[in-house]
Amino acid sequence: MHTHHSTPTLQQLLYDAEELLRCAKATAYESADTLHGSQRDHAFAAVHLIEMAREKLNTALHVENAYKPFATPTVSIPTQTR
């Protein structure tokens, strides 16, 4: 995650939220791995819910990027010169 000294963009907030969910998923998964029975099931259910939330964020990022047709691309693809 990044520390923001100015007002973050929606895209940066979405990226930061996605990173937080990635860490939460890893934590829940590691916790679930040591549990048994219904506690294990609940922990893995949390992993699944976190993954669903990450998918929603990824969709939001793609939608946000789709509405910026004239924005400067973040990655430039080198062109071949002859």
Q: Which of 78, 71, 51 is nearest to 11 (CA)?
A: 71
What does the alpha-carbon distance between residue 41 and residue 38 come to, in Å, rounded to a whole number? 5
DSSP string computed for 35-50:
--HHHHHHHHHHHHHH
The pLDDT score that the predictor gives to residue 4 is 55
**Unique residue bearing structure tokens 């990635």:** 22
Structure tokens belonging to residue 66? 């789709």
Q: What is the mean pLDDT of the chain?
A: 81
pLDDT digits (tens, 9 = 90+) for 29-81: 999 999 999 999 999 999 999 999 999 988 888 887 777 665 555 544 444 44
The pLDDT score that the predictor gives to residue 1 is 56
